Chain A
């Protein structure tokens, strides 16, 4: 009795077989889960704040008004945190690391150590004071009188040279403001122009920047698993066994595409959920991007799985594809636009879209261009993968 079996049923059977094979390998399932857990752990261990403030210790007498003026200016720019200390000796010792400096919840500064308070107040925040300015007594009067007083800038050797130099400039600018010397340039009417969205105090942290990278890595890593499966099916001739059944080469290829895409995208989506990145506002864009990435890497896995003669050979071919494709993933960690050759990499539009959506909250309209380019690359890789694998299967 012959019963016609639909193509969908055949493809579904092959996909089920692949997933059964996957789930039977308990070690592989366990290690895949562990891999996701480690990715998530890495994410949560990375700092989620950006320190864009220079903490500057200040010792002065009789300059409260001037320091207050700079303090309020600093609060506006969020780039400078002024910490007032009672004596120049305390300041020098704090910068040298011999004394600890704390700020209480009420904003009071407490110095702890030899010759100061014996212990830190409860709940006080420890400050990392690596540079400080000690103005001499009668600084205002001496400067105004043109006596050219000496101001000491205490600095830890680890402080970057540009910060040391800027603090010396800062002292000179304070002195100029006391003597009433105007700037020898005029400021444009609108002041210094800020170009682009002003993110001062609201910078993307390293943790934010890691999100797209980790999701991309999960997509990429599964290339190894899928290419290995394809290579073993080719080497062990199980594909020939499958083709003895009513299944055609097209069914086999479709099944591998579905299996690879589901396996890869599911892990990426699980990771995005674990990183609390999928929201009602971005799920559709992220899903589309993840699916595109999954199909791209499925195409690559078809090429490498067909080419490799054994596992190590497959691994090597994977590396040839993966290493260059990894480069754009790192570009999101760096500020500014990526170099032209990085943008030309096939993986760039995927990582760019993931970055724009997860880090900067972009919507469909802002990532449509990138997704369009990604789609074009996906078509190229997938068609190449299909052709290479079909040729390999037919030669068996």
Chain B
């Protein structure tokens, strides 16, 4: 009954909208903006008045961000502002002049704020492309020998942050704010006049949070193309994470006496909740630190099963620890609910 009431009234609150919109907005922001922040590519601007083969070659090249501009003045202004690491002005007839041995001037500009490594990459690559336009056979063969594996792209390593947001906002914040809201408006006391028990009310709140967290985490994984192929196992670990998040929500909701305190607790506990996901972005950092955060055990099974494609059997240790922490949280909630009941009785 309580869950039905929350499901009916919940969508009218702004937080529901927030919980639903946030994973989508964050996916767009993180993937579009931060993807390029963590893996910046050298940026080359070109003014090409004669359809040079150099421009076409850079366009086909992996790892260099090419922008074609209209005028040399615009290019110089943009390079000076570090909108591009380097700029190349190729006048009409440049390729023909190179081929005919006229040695045309190479008008290249480097941004003072560009990284030294990018300057080398763009300068050496440009010279090599000019040589290619000349058409002479290089005096050396270059053989590339590759070892190791490339590791996961940043777009995938950002997934734990996005899933954690979905779990936390929908799973923890939603039930916590709902409990606080009921406390502030006195409806919690009113509900206890009915046959509903406090434990049943809290269970209903947790169920709502877990349901929303589960749905939004699945949506987030799908949006980021990280759902994996073994969907029953993914569903199982996401459900576990959603329940874990909702238990955190119950603890916070029981602790906070009003909305301001709820927000302050949320704000301050953010580092503990999001601490572990940073380590997925920087795999070279000592990973044992991430395991110190309780929420690591909530996100790790999702990461390994949904993203890395491992089976539930491979992550049973993480699941066992998550279940253990979850049981401890249930005890904390039980204790806090006793305190809450006493506070309400005193207030009545």
Residues in chain A within 8 A of chain B (CB atoms): 25, 27-28, 31-32, 34-35, 38, 50, 52-54, 77-80, 92, 95-97, 143, 146, 148-158, 160-166, 168-176, 178-179, 181, 183-188, 192-201, 203, 221, 224-225, 228-229, 232, 310-316, 319, 323, 330, 333-337
Residues of A contacting B113 in the complex (Cβ-Cβ under 8 angstroms):
196-197, 199, 203, 335
Residues of B contacting A78 in the complex (Cβ-Cβ under 8 angstroms):
116
Task: Enumerate 29 A-B pairs (CB-CB under 8 Å) in ascending A order.
Answer: A27-B261, A31-B264, A50-B115, A79-B117, A95-B147, A150-B140, A151-B143, A153-B144, A154-B145, A156-B147, A158-B151, A161-B63, A162-B64, A173-B131, A192-B110, A198-B112, A199-B113, A200-B116, A200-B119, A228-B259, A232-B260, A311-B184, A312-B13, A313-B14, A314-B259, A315-B14, A319-B18, A335-B83, A335-B114
Interface pair A154/B267, CB less than 8 Å apart:
no
A155 to chain B, nearest CB (A): 5
Task: Give the CA-CA distance A165 to B64 in the complex, in Å.
Answer: 10
Interface pair B150/A27, CB less than 8 Å apart:
no
Interface pair B140/A175, CB less than 8 Å apart:
yes
Q: How large is the interface on B (under 10, 10 to 19, 20 to 34, 35 or more residues)?
A: 35 or more
Residues in chain B within 8 A of chain A (CB atoms): 13-15, 17-18, 25, 33, 36-37, 39-43, 61-64, 76, 78-84, 98, 101, 103-121, 123-125, 127-128, 130-131, 133-134, 136-151, 177, 180-181, 184-185, 258-265, 267-268, 271
B137 to chain A, nearest CB (A): 8
Interface pair A157/B147, CB less than 8 Å apart:
yes
Given the known interface contacts A184-B130, A195-B79, the answer about A77 and B116 at a Cβ–Cβ threshold of 8 Å is: yes
Given the known interface contacts A164-B144, A168-B142, A184-B131, the answer about A337 and B106 at a Cβ–Cβ threshold of 8 Å is: no
Given the known interface contacts A31-B264, A157-B149, A192-B108, the answer about A183 and B138 at a Cβ–Cβ threshold of 8 Å is: no
Task: Give the CA-CA distance A229 to B114 in the complex, in Å.
Answer: 46
Task: Give the CA-CA distance A374 to B13 in the complex, in Å.
Answer: 34
The listed residue with most A CB atoms (<10 A of its CB), out of B76, B134, B139, B185, is: B139
Given the known interface contacts A232-B260, A315-B259, the answer about A175 and B138 at a Cβ–Cβ threshold of 8 Å is: yes
Residues of A contacting B271 in the complex (Cβ-Cβ under 8 angstroms):
38
Please name the residue on chain B nearest to A188 by beta carbon.
B105
Residues of A contacting B260 in the complex (Cβ-Cβ under 8 angstroms):
28, 225, 228-229, 232, 311
Interface pair A169/B145, CB less than 8 Å apart:
no
Given the known interface contacts A77-B120, A312-B181, the answer about A187 and B150 at a Cβ–Cβ threshold of 8 Å is: no
Interface pair B181/A310, CB less than 8 Å apart:
yes
Q: List the 9 closest A-B pairs by CB distance, nearest first.
A: A311-B259, A162-B63, A79-B116, A316-B14, A169-B128, A196-B112, A52-B115, A175-B140, A336-B83
Task: Give the CA-CA distance A162 to B85 in the complex, in Å.
Answer: 14
Please name the residue on chain A nearest to B65 by beta carbon.
A162
The listed residue with most B CB atoms (<10 A of its CB), out of A34, A172, A225, A316, is: A172
Interface pair B63/A170, CB less than 8 Å apart:
no
Please name the residue on chain B nearest to A170 by beta carbon.
B124
Given the known interface contacts A183-B130, A337-B83, the answer about A31 and B265 at a Cβ–Cβ threshold of 8 Å is: yes
Q: Given B64, B124, B134, B144, which contacts A155 in the complex, CB threshold below 8 Å?
A: B144
Residues of A contacting B185 in the complex (Cβ-Cβ under 8 angstroms):
310
Given the known interface contacts A96-B148, A157-B149, A310-B184, the answer about A169 and B127 at a Cβ–Cβ threshold of 8 Å is: yes
Task: Give the CA-CA distance A174 to B138 in the complex, in Å.
Answer: 11
Residues of B contacting A337 in the complex (Cβ-Cβ under 8 angstroms):
81-83
Task: Give the CA-CA distance A25 to B131 in the complex, in Å.
Answer: 72
Task: Give the CA-CA distance A336 to B184 in the complex, in Å.
Answer: 48
Task: Give the CA-CA distance A358 to B188 in the complex, in Å.
Answer: 50
Residues of A contacting B142 in the complex (Cβ-Cβ under 8 angstroms):
150-153, 168, 171-172
Interface pair A312/B14, CB less than 8 Å apart:
yes
Interface pair B125/A157, CB less than 8 Å apart:
no
B64 to chain A, nearest CB (A): 5
B110 to chain A, nearest CB (A): 5
Interface pair B61/A146, CB less than 8 Å apart:
no
Task: Give the CA-CA distance A175 to B128 in the complex, in Å.
Answer: 12
Q: Given A97, A153, A195, A229, which contacts B148 in the complex, CB threshold below 8 Å?
A: A97
Please name the residue on chain A nearest to B260 by beta carbon.
A228
Residues of B contacting A193 in the complex (Cβ-Cβ under 8 angstroms):
108-110
Interface pair A201/B116, CB less than 8 Å apart:
yes
Given the known interface contacts A162-B61, A162-B62, A183-B130, the answer about A336 and B18 at a Cβ–Cβ threshold of 8 Å is: no
Question: Known contacts A155-B145, A175-B140, A200-B112; can you find 5 more A-B pairs with CB under 8 A?
Answer: A31-B268, A158-B149, A221-B267, A311-B180, A311-B260
Task: Give the CA-CA distance A157 to B153 in the complex, in Å.
Answer: 12
Residues of B contacting A34 in the complex (Cβ-Cβ under 8 angstroms):
268
Task: Give the CA-CA distance A194 to B262 in the complex, in Å.
Answer: 53
A168 to chain B, nearest CB (A): 4
Please name the residue on chain B nearest to A130 by beta carbon.
B148
Interface pair B144/A195, CB less than 8 Å apart:
no
B32 to chain A, nearest CB (A): 12
Please name the residue on chain B nearest to A39 by beta carbon.
B271
Interface pair A173/B127, CB less than 8 Å apart:
yes
Residues of B contacting A27 in the complex (Cβ-Cβ under 8 angstroms):
261, 264
Interface pair A185/B268, CB less than 8 Å apart:
no
Residues of B contacting A311 in the complex (Cβ-Cβ under 8 angstroms):
177, 180-181, 184, 258-260, 262-263
Residues of A contacting B78 in the complex (Cβ-Cβ under 8 angstroms):
336
Q: Given A79, A162, A179, which contacts B119 in the complex, CB threshold below 8 Å?
A: A79
Task: Give the CA-CA distance A201 to B130 in the complex, in Å.
Answer: 28
Residues of A contacting B130 in the complex (Cβ-Cβ under 8 angstroms):
183-185
B215 to chain A, nearest CB (A): 20
A102 to chain B, nearest CB (A): 18
Task: Give the CA-CA distance A187 to B107 in the complex, in Å.
Answer: 8
Residues of B contacting A79 in the complex (Cβ-Cβ under 8 angstroms):
115-120
Residues of B contacting A169 in the complex (Cβ-Cβ under 8 angstroms):
124-125, 127-128
Task: Give the CA-CA distance A152 to B146 in the complex, in Å.
Answer: 10
Interface pair B258/A194, CB less than 8 Å apart:
no
Given the known interface contacts A31-B268, A35-B267, A148-B139, the answer about A185 and B119 at a Cβ–Cβ threshold of 8 Å is: no
Please name the residue on chain A nearest to B33 by beta carbon.
A330
B49 to chain A, nearest CB (A): 16
A282 to chain B, nearest CB (A): 21
Interface pair A194/B115, CB less than 8 Å apart:
no
Please name the residue on chain A nearest to B110 by beta carbon.
A194
Residues of B contacting A319 in the complex (Cβ-Cβ under 8 angstroms):
18
The listed residue with most A CB atoms (<10 A of its CB), out of B105, B112, B258, is: B112
Residues of A contacting B120 in the complex (Cβ-Cβ under 8 angstroms):
54, 77, 79-80, 166
Task: Give the CA-CA distance A164 to B112 in the complex, in Å.
Answer: 24
A85 to chain B, nearest CB (A): 15
Task: Give the CA-CA distance A183 to B76 in the complex, in Å.
Answer: 24
B300 to chain A, nearest CB (A): 22
A218 to chain B, nearest CB (A): 11
